[in-house]
Chains A and B, each alone.
Chain A
Amino acid sequence: MAPHSTTDNDGDDVMRDTDEMQVDEKPDAPAVKSEPVAVKDELEHMFDDEDDDLMIDDEVNDFKNGFGKTSAAPISDILSASPSDPEVMLQFYARLFPWRQLFRWLNHAEIPSTDFANREFAFTLHNEAYLRYQCYPTFETLRRDVLKLNPSRFEIGPVYSARPRDRKQVPKGSFKPLEKELVFDIDLTDYDEIRTCCSKTSICIKCWQFVTMAIKVIDVALRDDFGFQHIMWVYSGRRGAHAWVCDRKARKLDDGKRRAIAAYLEVVRGSAQSGKKVNLDRPLHPHIQRSRGILERDFEKNILEDQDPFRTEEQSKRLLQLLPDQQFRGALREKWSSTTERSSSDKWRDIDDVAKTGVAKDLKTRQLLEHKQDIILEYTYPRLDAEVSKHLNHLLKSPFVVHPGTGKVCVPIDPAKAEDFNPDDVPTVLQLLKEIDQWKNPVKGEGDDTAAPVRVPDIDKTSLKPYHDFFGRFVQRLLNAERQAAELKPKVEQGVKIKKEEDMEF
């Protein structure tokens, strides 16, 4: 295997002392908190030396950080800071990050299991140190460590055969990755040669359409062809999107099968030297045929109009390269050089118009049609970073993490409404903290004379709330499927408990 920067970066030397070890030895605390008072009593008994952790809950309003120090800093003091300011990040992870849902998502059940405990987390700290092989029995311990280390971001790796921290203790060779979600990474930098509006790290709504098209094509393929149901799309915080396929069967795929899926979905192949990058057998495979149907509708607007990639003489050379028949190309070249600069839409129409004149005797209608189809695909079909998908042990940034460069939260994207998603609308961490700060308790209705004032969770005060809820519903569907698969007949009480909890969450 090639040494790959993400997967082989061994951060052992920066491992620090782990006081969680004590916690680890204790019986796992129930993650379900259906009756707060009773459970709290029980928990307090269990963890009487660490009662700070008890306050950890998505719903808890008062902010305390992981090591017991109550944070007194009012949010308004730090609003002028940069989004990657450690204090800003800390506030976000303490008050707004959906720890419990993240736990349920990765644990696949309410009761803590090895699915979560043997899962690798990796932290990038503000000093660029990279800590790999971190793991936690419960979300409380994970949350506490994040608040203590205050990483600039963290990533999620596979579930291993043993706890990642213990990898040196278990017999050599028996520590290996067992499962991880099948993941996909779409990054706009892979489109640099065909996007004209932006380059490098900058993006706009025009080039975001490449990502939108990618989500539409990949999502339907994963669902209809492979039969996956639990696919979560996440904005990567700057210029791309990730997909997490969470179905049990997807999680258990070995590298060979991941490679098969990645290759099945890959259409645009080759480097700058390869010439035409889409070369497909005919008739088209049903997956390509379906994708073509989706993408052809978008080609006119997203590509010809918005990207206008063939306007200049230099640009239209590229288009000519992709077309068949020397005579035909010559005729087009002549037309485009004699008239003043024509738009890409005009040039695209010219192709058929010139073909109809019969200037190229050997040009076959079918041949031209197929080349045009290939060109449309070359300019619209998803460009995946296949290496990310191929390896079970590849790490990927966690959902809801704050992108340190933009301050934007990596929020989920609803694939059914992919076209409505605009990266400019994604809340930044500073904006969210401001929303908490400016939030006022709405005036209570008449006759509302219940004694204590209702505590409103921080998340409910912000525009992050709909994303939270979306994630929560996704996780709940996944857990329901897991439970059905395990053929566990939930007891009546358990059913009630879960119902109650849902009410609390959403």
Chain B
Amino acid sequence: MQGPEALRLARKQRRGNVIGGTIKDSGLPYPTRLNFYDKPPRDEVSLEEFEQWAIDRLRVLGEIETCLFRNNTPAEIDATLKRLLDKYLPLASNHSIPENERSNPKRFAGLTAERRKDHYSHFILRLAFARSEDLRRRFTRVESILFRHRFTTDDTRERHEFMSALQLDAHAVSDSEKAQYADELKAVLAATTRTQPEKARAQFEAESYVKVEWDRVADLVESRRIFIRGGMAYVPSGALVSLVLAEFSNKLDEALIATARLLPRLDEDDRLIPILNHLSKGFSAPEYNSAAAPTTLSGEAITAAQIDSLKAHFPLCMRNLHSALRRDKHLRHFGRLQYGLFLKGLGLSIDEALVFWRQAFSKFTDEQFNKEYRYNIRHSYGLQGAGRNYSPYSCQQILMDHPPGTGDAHGCPYRHFSVDNLMMAMESQMGISGDEKSVLSGVRQDVGAKKYHLACNRVFEHLHERELKREKEAGGGVRETIVHPNEWFDRSWNLKNPGKAKERGRVKEEVKEEDTTMT
């Protein structure tokens, strides 16, 4: 035996050795359900399989991104994923086979096929999504969520086997060290698990900790859900998921960059490239496409002078920014960005935008304005600096990216206002008086459940109740959750101006079509 054959056997043996448990020495290619994707596939697949597997996985990943975009909770994402995975990318656990038959490769064949598809489709999509930084970032994010879903729903014992094979390079914390930091560790444990102090004490006694460099669990550090001392994070067994997940996405990040470097060599193959190109195009975010938005409302260009009257079609965040701008004659950096890009999405040209902001910043001299702000405004239209054409912020970005601080007016009021202030804004900005209890209590409920987009959509439906009803009676009106401030504006404008809506509507449809290619 020599050459490739010897290599293959060596590989099999290596795979076999890493895994603990009953099927350790079985020589099976995929002994566990979970896969860290650290070894690329070697066997041949047909072109049809290549494409079909990739498309199936893409459906799952695309749906994850949609969930993120709609700001779904992890529980909601899990529910969506379960349904989808059963259909497109099932992965059964070893327990689906009786224990005494698990070492029989024939009994295992079904599982192997599933795992093979999972393995191959992952690597095919790596090829498709390694090409740009944006695609890599999104791919890592959705793949990590998919991995987390599978990891947390995995059978406990199999998960344990999988983890022990990972060799996480973590040091056990000795009893004396645990005792030394007992107060700190107990406080974190009680706060993160939300248990009563008495219960937490017992939990702490039973808990075992490992120590890793703090940046390996950066997400836990970021949210102060872990105790750190001297650069080391003290990870309780329950938080190991975080560690495994961080490891997963870090490795994937690195691997994608390595893949990107190798991509040019792949260019020789004219069978795969068209498929890969097609795949990466299909993976487009359901983003509101402002470039395709018209620059006119019913045929006329929007001017700076019209903004005040258009305010009636703005969502709360934009009305709040507009009011702050009129009140203070100024907006801070992220306020200017959030509002300025929104107006740009409405179709306000750069010239009109400069007029609008110049007039709005009335407490500044021309010289100050030109020096401090002109550049930024032109920048956001892609006319200055890097020349990037920025898109209006989506709800997702507004909710997540830059929480407002002192003196800021940007952000999502549903999320960033206190409930009392939000209720006041409901009346002052949206004209919903305190008598309209059903809407307001609905909003309170949504906000309490952290479903900010639902609260916003609830307000939209309330303000457009009559129009929506009419639309429904006329047989139209697909009710979709609004996930972008500009979408709010377009829907609102169209509903209130049904006669003139055609132009805007047509362009919107084109955008929608583009989006649906991914699902």
| Partner-B contacts on A (CB < 8 A) | 2-5, 8-10, 128, 190, 192-193, 224-228, 249, 253, 256-257, 259-261, 263-264, 269-276, 281-289, 383, 386-387
CA distance A259 to B407 in the complex (A): 21
Closest partner residue, chain B, to A267 (CB atom): B224
Cβ 8 A contact of A271, one of B219, B333, B404? B404
| Given A253-B215, A257-B218, A283:B418 Cβ within 8 A | no
Which residue of A9, A249, A263, A283 has the most chain B CB atoms within 10 A of its CB atom?
A283
A218 to chain B, nearest CB (A): 15
Cβ 8 A contact of B385, one of A10, A273, A285? A10
For B227, the chain A residues whose CB sits under 8 A away are 285-286
- A-B pairs with the 10 shortest C-beta distances? A275-B418, A227-B231, A260-B222, A286-B184, A271-B404, A260-B218, A283-B187, A3-B379, A227-B230, A263-B222
| Given A271-B416, A273-B421, A10:B405 Cβ within 8 A | no
Within 8 A of A (CB), among B407-446: 407-409, 411, 413, 416-421, 425
| Given A260-B221, A264-B224, A273:B402 Cβ within 8 A | no
For B419, the chain A residues whose CB sits under 8 A away are 275
Q: List 16 extra interface pairs beyond A257-B215, A260-B221, CB under 8 A.
A: A2-B401, A5-B333, A192-B406, A224-B230, A227-B232, A249-B231, A260-B219, A263-B223, A271-B404, A273-B418, A274-B416, A275-B421, A281-B191, A282-B191, A283-B191, A286-B184
Asked whether, in the complex, the Cβ of B191 is within 8 Å of the Cβ of A383, the reply is no
Interface check B240, CB cutoff 8 A: no
A16 to chain B, nearest CB (A): 20
Asked whether, in the complex, the Cβ of B416 is within 8 Å of the Cβ of A128, the reply is no
Interface check B190, CB cutoff 8 A: yes
One digit per residue, 1 when the CB lies within 8 angstroms of any chain A CB and 0 when it does not, for chain B 363-394 equals 00000000100011001100011101010000
Asked whether, in the complex, the Cβ of B418 is within 8 Å of the Cβ of A9, the reply is no
Asked whether, in the complex, the Cβ of B187 is within 8 Å of the Cβ of A284, the reply is yes
| Given A253-B215, A270-B404, A275:B420 Cβ within 8 A | yes
Interface check B214, CB cutoff 8 A: yes
Asked whether, in the complex, the Cβ of B191 is within 8 Å of the Cβ of A264, the reply is no
For B408, the chain A residues whose CB sits under 8 A away are 271
CA distance A288 to B224 in the complex (A): 10
| Given A263-B222, A273-B416, A274-B416, A190:B405 Cβ within 8 A | yes
Interface check B488, CB cutoff 8 A: no
Interface check B403, CB cutoff 8 A: yes
CA distance A225 to B334 in the complex (A): 31
Cβ 8 A contact of B406, one of A228, A260, A272, A287? A272
For A273, the chain B residues whose CB sits under 8 A away are 320, 409, 413, 416-418, 421, 425
Asked whether, in the complex, the Cβ of B379 is within 8 Å of the Cβ of A8, the reply is yes
For B223, the chain A residues whose CB sits under 8 A away are 263
Closest partner residue, chain B, to A282 (CB atom): B191
| Partner-A contacts on B (CB < 8 A) | 183-184, 186-188, 190-191, 197, 214-215, 218-219, 221-224, 227-232, 320, 333-334, 337, 371, 375-376, 379-380, 384-386, 388, 390, 401-409, 411, 413, 416-421, 425
For B228, the chain A residues whose CB sits under 8 A away are 225-226
Cβ 8 A contact of B418, one of A10, A193, A274? A274
A299 to chain B, nearest CB (A): 19
A128 to chain B, nearest CB (A): 7
Asked whether, in the complex, the Cβ of B406 is within 8 Å of the Cβ of A190, the reply is yes
B296 to chain A, nearest CB (A): 26
CA distance A107 to B379 in the complex (A): 34
For A386, the chain B residues whose CB sits under 8 A away are 405
Which residue of B320, B385, B425 has the most chain A CB atoms within 10 A of its CB atom?
B385
Cβ 8 A contact of A3, one of B218, B219, B380? B380
Closest partner residue, chain B, to A271 (CB atom): B404
Asked whether, in the complex, the Cβ of B222 is within 8 Å of the Cβ of A271, the reply is no
11 sampled A-B residue pairs with Cβ under 8 A? A3-B376, A9-B375, A227-B229, A227-B231, A256-B218, A260-B222, A271-B411, A274-B418, A285-B227, A383-B405, A387-B402
B196 to chain A, nearest CB (A): 11
For B231, the chain A residues whose CB sits under 8 A away are 225-228, 249
Closest partner residue, chain A, to B183 (CB atom): A286
Asked whether, in the complex, the Cβ of A224 is within 8 Å of the Cβ of B229, the reply is yes
CA distance A253 to B188 in the complex (A): 25
Closest partner residue, chain B, to A256 (CB atom): B218
For A289, the chain B residues whose CB sits under 8 A away are 187
For B416, the chain A residues whose CB sits under 8 A away are 270-271, 273-274
Closest partner residue, chain A, to B320 (CB atom): A273
CA distance A103 to B178 in the complex (A): 43
A130 to chain B, nearest CB (A): 10
CA distance A150 to B413 in the complex (A): 46
For B405, the chain A residues whose CB sits under 8 A away are 190, 269-271, 383, 386
CA distance A226 to B425 in the complex (A): 41
Closest partner residue, chain A, to B371 (CB atom): A128
Closest partner residue, chain A, to B337 (CB atom): A2
Asked whether, in the complex, the Cβ of A269 is within 8 Å of the Cβ of B403, the reply is yes
A187 to chain B, nearest CB (A): 11
CA distance A122 to B258 in the complex (A): 33
| Given A190-B405, A273-B421, A283-B187, A9:B224 Cβ within 8 A | no
Asked whether, in the complex, the Cβ of A225 is within 8 Å of the Cβ of B386, the reply is no
B421 to chain A, nearest CB (A): 5
CA distance A218 to B353 in the complex (A): 41
CA distance A274 to B420 in the complex (A): 9
Asked whether, in the complex, the Cβ of A4 is within 8 Å of the Cβ of B333, the reply is yes
For A285, the chain B residues whose CB sits under 8 A away are 187-188, 191, 224, 227
For B191, the chain A residues whose CB sits under 8 A away are 281-285
For B402, the chain A residues whose CB sits under 8 A away are 2, 387
| Given A260-B221, A286-B227, A276:B418 Cβ within 8 A | yes
Asked whether, in the complex, the Cβ of B232 is within 8 Å of the Cβ of A260, the reply is no
Closest partner residue, chain A, to B410 (CB atom): A271
| Given A271-B407, A271-B411, A225:B417 Cβ within 8 A | no
Closest partner residue, chain B, to A221 (CB atom): B228
CA distance A3 to B215 in the complex (A): 28
B140 to chain A, nearest CB (A): 11
| Given A273-B417, A274-B421, A276-B418, A286:B187 Cβ within 8 A | yes
CA distance A259 to B219 in the complex (A): 10
A132 to chain B, nearest CB (A): 10
| Given A128-B371, A224-B229, A270-B403, A286:B188 Cβ within 8 A | yes
B434 to chain A, nearest CB (A): 17
For B385, the chain A residues whose CB sits under 8 A away are 3, 8-10
Asked whether, in the complex, the Cβ of A271 is within 8 Å of the Cβ of B409, the reply is yes
For B425, the chain A residues whose CB sits under 8 A away are 273
